[in-house]
Amino acid sequence: MNNMQNLYRQVIMDHYSHPRNKGLTGNGKQNHLRNPSCGDDITVEAEIENGIVKHVHHDGHGCSICCSSASVMSEILTGKTVEEAKEIIKTYFQMIKGENIEDEDILEEALVYQGVAQFPARTKCATIAWKAVEDLLGEKDEEE
């Protein structure tokens, strides 16, 4: 394992062991998604106000990839505008699919999941929380 992979692994295990923004607050909209092939079961909650993602929380259980990526995602998206958040989510999905991405800086810590592209069986684990929040952002758009 090279140093970069080692660093990525440490970030993932840190977020898995000490998830940020875990636990639902009852504010905002919630979306519950499951990944039966792995047993991941996650609820994401996002509160959007004036076009800004005020907070993102998550709860549930699953594998280290799923739970840690929910934690990383909640940190990155909180405080962003809805447009920025959508761009970040889109770029993240491109990275997970192994596509070339234009602006990897916007992914911040989520870059640690780029190795998942080599393991197609795990891509659902890495994207389930992100898909859940993408749905929430999309809903908001339709209302406005």
Site for Zn ion in 2-21 (CB under 5 A): none
The reply on whether position 38 binds Zn ion by CB under 5 A is yes
Nearer to Zn ion, 69 or 78 (CB): 69
The reply on whether position 41 binds Zn ion by CB under 5 A is no
Nearer to Zn ion, 77 or 125 (CB): 125
Site for Zn ion in 69-128 (CB under 5 A): 125
The reply on whether position 40 binds Zn ion by CB under 5 A is yes
Specify whether the CB–CB gap between 140 and 33 falls below 8 A: no
The DSSP secondary-structure symbol of 36 reads: T
The reply on whether position 63 binds Zn ion by CB under 5 A is yes
Considering only CA atoms, give the Rg of the chain. 14
Instruction: For residue 90, give the nearest of 106, 74, 68, 79 by alpha carbon.
Output: 106
The reply on whether position 34 binds Zn ion by CB under 5 A is no
Report in angstroms the alpha-carbon separations of 80 from 4, 35, 86. Answer: 27, 27, 10
In the structure encoding, which two tokens stand for residue 64, read together? 């280290």
Q: Which residues bind Zn ion (CB under 5 A)?
A: 38, 40, 62-63, 66, 125
